[in-house]
């Protein structure tokens, strides 16, 4: 394999701490730079924080060129959707993640729904709208609850589960007319409400082949007993007891393989971490709630804790097109991550503490 001495991790959350912690353990790596990193990454050996924002692609390129970075690993969706992989690749710097086109799977919910419909990937029935009157007319005649989603990136806040028409109508006004999420709300996806158990399915993809990672599940509600507001995840654990080998195969056959083959067929082959957020019905039928073009946060933390293999070698296998046959090894023990959040999260809360 190529020599990979210097790695740049893009992002500053718990996910990027876990990724850089794992990358720093690789026998191929001398130094992991994290942009911007966080107080956690600053305490690790072989890890150096650099003060560049994850969204500042030009500065990241400048740094990577100056430091002769061998591999870039991108944590969050923003830079991926904005083409960080395309830009690094053009300069001949290896950057792990999907291209801007492939990252549309997360960057545009309308794109993802159209794609799933075309390639017969199970997901909630939906309509998309760019006219608020048409959206309201449709919602007036719907059975509740209904789910209203901003098409674009909205930091995990662009989804509303409407219990009735009044709530749904208000969300259309907020997203489309008041531009609560900026341009992300120009188009809305309105879909049926699915019931069941949510699970995350995360894999490494080399454009053609897929290697599923250990199963994980995040805990969405802020309060004990699942009664609080939805968050990006208050913690996560791995493995998930209800996702056994047979069920994992079903998810691969019905969702992951058609997705990766469909993306290649559509001329936008997918390389990177691919995350399918699933709703599993009481009849054990999985449907896609969303795709993420990146690793989950906080799912990364317990998964990295359990990964025994060398992450640099796994990523290299994605560049070589050999991920499917990678002899990945896991620690059998369960791993659990807990988020400590500022009081008031996910609404109004203090940051920088």
Q: What is the CA radius of gyration of the chain?
A: 20
Q: Which of 37, 97, 269, 296 binds ligand GLY (CB under 6 A)?
A: 296
Of 263 and 278, the one with the shorter C-beta distance to ligand GLY is: 278
CA angle 172, 125, 275 (to 5 degrees): 90
Segment contacting ligand GLY by CB under 6 A, of 137-145, 221-229, 291-299, 335-343: 291-299
Interaction mask 128-157, ligand AMP, x per CB under 6 A: -------------------x-x--------
Alpha carbons 204 and 188: distance in angstroms, whole number: 29
Omega of the bond leading into 316 within 30 degrees of 0 (cis): no
CA dihedral defined by 104, 110, 116, 119, rounded to 10 degrees? -80
Cα(196)–Cα(242) distance, rounded to whole angstroms?
13
| Residue 151 is a binding residue for ligand GLY (CB under 6 A) | no
Element (H, E) at 20: helix 14-24
16 binds ligand GLY (CB under 6 A): no
Q: What are phi and psi of 255, to 5 degrees?
A: -125, -60
**Which residues inside 4-23 make contact with ligand AMP, applying CB under 6 A?**
none
Task: Fill in the per-residue mask, 155 to 184: x = in contact with ligand GLY (CB under 6 A), - = not in contact.
Answer: ------------------------------
Contacted entry of ligand AMP, ligand GLY, none for residue 297, CB cut-off 5 to 8 Å set by kind:
ligand GLY
Q: Could you tell me the smallest distance in angstroms from the CB atom of residue 161 to ligand AMP? A: 6
CB of 297 to ligand GLY, least distance (A): 5
Cβ–Cβ < 8 Å for 13, 297: yes
Q: How far is CA 61 from CA 28, 83, 89, 91, 347, in A?
A: 22, 12, 11, 9, 34
Partner whose binding site includes residue 299, from ligand AMP, ligand GLY, none (CB under 5 to 8 Å by kind):
ligand GLY
Between 52 and 112, name the residue whose CB sits nearer to ligand AMP. Answer: 112
Per CB under 6 A, which of residues 185..224 are in contact with ligand AMP? Answer: 191, 193-194, 198, 220
In this structure, the chain runs to a length of: 353
Q: Which 281-300 positions form the footprint of ligand AMP (CB under 6 A)? A: 289-290
Is 228 a residue that touches ligand GLY (CB under 6 A)? no
Q: In 3D, which of 182, 70, 198 has the Cα closest to residue 124?
A: 198
| Three-state secondary-structure class, residue 132 | helix
How many CB atoms within 10 Å of residue 32?
Answer: 27
* DSSP per-residue letters across 287-326: EEEEEESS--TTTHHHHHHHB-S-HHHHHHHHHHT-GGG-
Task: Decide: is 269 part of the binding site for ligand GLY (CB under 6 A).
Answer: no
Applying CB under 6 A, among 16, 78, 297, 310 the residue interacting with ligand GLY is 297
Contact of residue 16 among ligand AMP, ligand GLY, none (CB under 5-8 Å per partner type): none
Residue ranges in contact with ligand GLY by CB under 6 A: 218, 232-233, 292, 296-297, 299
- The residues binding ligand AMP (CB under 6 A) are 124, 147, 149, 159, 161, 191, 193-194, 198, 220, 230, 277, 289-290
């Amino acid at each position: 394999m190529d020599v990979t001495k210097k790695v740049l991790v893009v992002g500053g959350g718990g996910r990027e701490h876990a990724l850089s912690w794992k990358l720093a353990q690789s026998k191929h790596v001398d130094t992991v730079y994290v942009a911007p990193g966080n107080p956690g990454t600053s305490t690790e050996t072989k890890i150096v924080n650099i003060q560049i924002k994850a969204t500042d692609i030009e500065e990241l390129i400048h740094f990577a060129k100056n430091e002769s970075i061998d591999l870039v690993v991108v944590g969050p969706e923003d830079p991926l959707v904005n083409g960080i992989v395309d830009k690094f690749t053009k300069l001949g710097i290896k950057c792990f993640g999907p291209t801007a086109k492939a990252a549309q799977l997360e960057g545009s919910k309308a794109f993802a729904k159209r794609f799933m419909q075309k390639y017969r990937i199970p997901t909630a029935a939906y309509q998309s709208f760019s006219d608020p009157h048409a959206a309201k007319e449709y919602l007036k005649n719907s059975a509740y609850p209904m789910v209203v989603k901003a098409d674009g990136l909205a930091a995990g806040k662009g989804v509303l589960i409407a219990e009735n028409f009044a709530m749904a109508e208000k969300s259309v006004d907020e997203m489309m007319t008041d531009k609560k999420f900026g341009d992300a709300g120009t188009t809305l996806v309105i879909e049926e409400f699915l019931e069941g158990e949510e699970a995350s399915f995360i894999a490494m993809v080399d454009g053609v082949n897929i290697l599923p990672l250990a199963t994980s599940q995040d805990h969405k509600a802020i309060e004990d007993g699942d009664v609080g507001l939805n968050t990006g995840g208050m913690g996560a654990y791995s493995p998930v007891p209800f996702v056994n080998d047979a069920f994992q195969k079903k998810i691969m056959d019905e969702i992951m393989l058609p997705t990766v083959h469909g993306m290649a067929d559509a001329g936008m082959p997918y390389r990177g971490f691919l995350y399918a957020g699933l709703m599993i019905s009481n009849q054990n039928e999985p449907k896609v709630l969303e795709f993420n073009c990146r690793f989950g946060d906080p799912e990364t933390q317990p998964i990295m804790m359990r990964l025994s293999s060398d992450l640099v070698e796994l990523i290299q296998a994605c560049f070589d097109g050999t991920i499917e046959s990678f002899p990945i090894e896991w620690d059998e023990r369960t791993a659990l991550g807990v988020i400590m959040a500022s009081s008031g999260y996910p609404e109004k809360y203090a940051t920088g503490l």
